[in-house]
Amino acid sequence: MSASTRNVLAWILQVLLGLAFIASGGNKFRDLAGTIGMFESLGLPAVMAYVVAGAEVLGGIGLLIPRFVRPAALGLILIMLGAVVMHATKIPGGLAGGAPAIVLLVLLAVLLWLRKPAVAVR
């Protein structure tokens, strides 16, 4: 794959994932009472609702800023791993209900691969 094709695909993925995470975190903040209730029903402290919502919004913004793409993607991968574990262990519906989290996790990993630093050839 050429460098320019890789760059275009990465930018498309960055924008789509960035907007998705900004929207997801924003929705968690918009219905904060419901989000806190859901987190507490899973046995998590209420503060985790703030942490996850904030991380999603900031991570989504980070995906749109070239300098922060890789750290933002790594942070969001941690959030998505947590979501997948919660779906597998505590949320009714299991992993089938966690399919969006799995898809986002895979897309973040693809983005990391697309944005891996170039190796200089001597």
What are 98-116's pLDDT values in tens digits? 899 999 999 999 999 999 8
**Cα(31)–Cα(50) distance, rounded to whole angstroms?**
11
- Compute the distance between CA of residue 31 and CA of residue 53 in angstroms, rounded to an integer: 11
Q: In whole numbers, what is the pLDDT of the chain averaged over residues?
A: 93
Calpha distance 33→29 (Å, rounded): 9
The amino acid occupying position 104 is L
What is the three-class DSSP state of 43?
coil
- Domain boundaries defined on the chain: 3-113
pLDDT surpasses 80 at 121: no
